Chain A
Amino acid sequence: MLNLETGKYAFFVWSAYGITGAVFLILILSSLNHARRWKKKAQELAPK
């Protein structure tokens, strides 16, 4: 069974997981946005 009890270390454990989630979210969103933005731009500028 899951044991989410972290007792007196809660601040350290949940901060570490929170920062990890936030950094992954930033990396995923920035990567997808960068690719989407330039794909759209390349398609707009492509010779018809």
Chain B
Amino acid sequence: MLPAPAFLTNPERFMAFSRWAAPMFGAIALVLGLAGLWLGWTAPEDYQQGATVRILFIHIPAAWMSEFVYACLAVASLLALVFRHVLADCAAQAAAPLGAGFTVLALATGSLWGRPMWGTYWVWDARLTSVLALLLIYVAYMALRASIDDETKGARAAAILALVGAVNLPIIHYSVTWWNTLHQGPSVFRAGGSALAPVFFWPVILLVLAYMSAFGSLWLVRIRGEVWRRRAEAAALRAARA
């Protein structure tokens, strides 16, 4: 195993690390978020989109995070399945509600941008539909875990679902290339350079980093909560047997 994950597989070391890392990532998210919003709201309006370009500063990071968090969930699920490691299972479980939140944001902000620019809140094109499928996979993952009384069996079933659902990630990513979609193709990073002018590019990048740091902070907090929940339930079980 890589040294860093190996270091964090020990619950005591993880709890000691996350105790200071969670607030640190939170503080970084706040600073980067404020800087990104400042740059975004001091940038001129787009000559075609007008003020709606400011929606893209929060839509693009949410859309990227919806996929990134799912990738984290899938990797944690794989580690939990292969190594049966409790912390990996906690990490997968903790990532799901956060990923669902980012996906809701991607869909909602995208719709609010689409109505004035495309003339509609929603179209069943490949990108929008595959992101909606991602949200449904997140919801199915959480529902499956909650619906099986035996937590170990529920975790394994949900991990398998998470790995199967990972097939959707390349579909989302390449949907705008493989199919003719109303959603535009890659614009931030693409061959030949970004399609965004620097005044729009940098707010997007700062807010992507802010969202990523916010996720890092909240993920650690939620994993800590899961560790405590399992400790509390183990202690309650011991007390009941005594």
Contacts and interface: CB of A to CB of B under 8 A. Distances in A.
Interface of A: 1-10, 12-13, 15-17, 19-20, 23-24, 26-28, 30-32, 34-39, 41-42, 44-47
Interface in B39-66: 41-42, 44-45, 50-52, 54-55, 58-59, 62
B115 interface: yes
Contact of A7 (B42, B51, B62): B51
The B interface is mostly helix, strand or loop, or mixed, namely helix
A42 B51 contact: no
B228 A41 contact: yes
A9 B105 CA distance: 19
Contact of B58 (A2, A20, A28, A34): A20
B111 to A, nearest CB: 9
Contact of A31 (B51, B221, B228, B229): B221
B101 A9 contact: no
Given A2-B42, A31-B221, A34-B222, A16 B232 contact: no
B51 A13 contact: yes
Contacts of B226: 38
A36 to B, nearest CB: 8
Contact of A9 (B50, B109, B221, B239): B50
27 contacts: A2-B38, A4-B41, A6-B54, A9-B50, A12-B115, A16-B59, A16-B113, A20-B109, A23-B104, A23-B105, A24-B101, A24-B214, A26-B101, A27-B98, A28-B218, A30-B97, A31-B98, A31-B221, A34-B222, A35-B225, A35-B228, A36-B225, A37-B225, A38-B225, A39-B225, A42-B228, A45-B235
